[in-house]
Homo-oligomer: A and B are copies of this chain.
Amino acid sequence: MPEPGYYGQFGGSFIPEILVATFEELVQAFEQAKADPEFWNTYLKLMGSYSCRPTPLTYAENLTRHFGGARIYIKREDLNHTGAHKANNVMGQGLLVKRMGKGRVIAETGAGQHGVATATMAAKFGFDCTIYMGEIDVQRQRPNVFWMERLGATVIPVTEGTRTLKDAINEAFRDWVSAMDDTHYVLGTACGPHPFPEMVTWFQSIIGLEARRQVLEETGQLPARIYACVGGGSNAMGIFSGFLDDDVELVGVEAGGRGLETGAHAARLASSDASLGVAQGYKTFFLQDDDGQMKETHSVAAGLDYVGVSPILSHLKETGRVRFSAATDTEVVDALSLTIRKEGLIPALESAHGFVQAFKEAPTLSHDDVIIINQSGRGDKDIFTVADAFEDPGWKQFIRDKAKEYDAR
């Protein structure tokens, strides 16, 4: 009988003593919410009226024809309010915060997506909101900083460490240990100490529940395979949740960055570069050196650029239930480009990782097979990154002209 919060040897709750009481309160609130069918109904209602759930399952007819194999369906988390599956998690945690009677939320953010989602939830629920974001990400992802500030959140640039996502997480924990009485830390993915992996997965399972119903309705059959990108693992766990007990192959796709052989990647489960460790409150595979110090990671997709991974996914890898692969930056931009042109869909760079692997495998399957790709978010938020990836000269000129305009005033 595994301890609560453990998935095989992964997970746990490695937290400073000062937070233990807070976590106990959170675990309790979460357990009560899970046991209360009204809570899930309230959650469904909120997501249906504030976001756009159920999100559609779109048949990608042109891509299907292009690859000439399996019929490709796309689960459209990009159509959520704020543009990604992150909305599911934050709105769920928002309801829990209300239940706990707290008035302030904090969050880490890398790409800015989870920060915007949290700031949005905070505006909607009337919470104070502080977002921690690595200084480098603040610089790279200014548009999201702008929106977070408009939404009333305080964005604090984190200047220590690698100045990216993992350091923002550390900083959020530091805030939390100082202010846990009235503050809830809205962790953005299925990582961190118990109950976060389970709780975030629970809220995200709305994706898989919908997708299962939809694919049966639409095609009368279960999919052969499901593809999802894996940063922390929340969108993947979200869609996988609906199919764990089915005869459906689940494929997680990590950031291959410049190639697994270069070391400049964020593949914790698809490469042999990661090893078991304990950091940021939980035990999982980390990209770390022999001393246990965390390494720098790389991905064209800021949201996948993280050293750890959901302990639940580590476990599902170990049991063989989920297969993992990696997509390189170049493959990602190509898959993105093809998807935009063939279907008029703009996946986020993160999501495009799932598309890469699906495109590799679709031709090897039969037209009788159905596959689902989880489009976790929309890519138009990434224009600065995508335009750079495409080396678009018109865009560069536009930015130069805009800078001149600002200088002139």
Taking beta carbons and an 8 Å cutoff, which residues of A are in contact with B? 48-52, 55-59, 62, 76, 79, 81, 83, 119-124, 126, 139, 142-143, 145-147, 149-152, 337, 340-346, 380-381, 383-384, 386-387, 390, 392, 394-396, 398-404, 406-407
Contacts and interface: CB of A to CB of B under 8 A. Distances in A.
Contacts of A345: 81
A172 to B, nearest CB: 20
Identical copies of this chain, number: 2
Contacts of A51: 56, 79
Nearest to A80: B79
A408 to B, nearest CB: 11
A120 B344 contact: yes
Given A79-B81, A337-B150, A383-B143, A123 B50 contact: no
B403 A400 contact: yes
A151 B50 CA distance: 29
B394 A399 contact: no
B152 A341 contact: yes
A79 B396 CA distance: 29
A59 B49 contact: yes
B52 A79 contact: yes
B401 A139 contact: yes
Q: Is the interface of A mostly helix, strand, loop or mixed?
A: helix
A120 B339 CA distance: 11
B62 A56 contact: no
Q: Which 9 pairs from chain A and chain B are nearest by CB?
A: A403-B403, A142-B398, A120-B344, A123-B344, A124-B344, A52-B79, A52-B52, A396-B406, A400-B403
Contacts of A342: 123
Contacts of A150: 337, 340-341, 346, 386, 390
A341 B50 contact: no
A392 B79 CA distance: 28
Contacts of A386: 150
A395 B146 contact: yes
Contacts of A120: 344
Contact of A392 (B119, B146, B401): B146
A395 B57 CA distance: 36
6 contacts: A49-B59, A62-B126, A143-B395, A146-B394, A147-B383, A400-B407
Contacts of A55: 52
A406 B387 CA distance: 12
Given A55-B52, A123-B341, A123-B344, A406 B398 contact: no
A119 B344 contact: yes
B396 A399 contact: no
Contacts of A383: 143, 146-147
Contacts of A384: 402
Contacts of A394: 142, 145-146, 149
A147 B139 CA distance: 23
B406 A399 contact: yes
Nearest to A218: B49
Contacts of A126: 62
Contacts of A400: 403, 406-407
Interface centre among A55, A76, A126, A340 (most CB of B within 10 A): A340
Nearest to A337: B150
A406 to B, nearest CB: 4
A72 B52 CA distance: 19
A400 to B, nearest CB: 5
Given A52-B79, A147-B346, A151-B344, 6 more contacts: A121-B344, A139-B401, A145-B394, A146-B392, A149-B394, A150-B386
Nearest to A82: B344
Given A49-B59, A380-B381, A399 B403 contact: yes
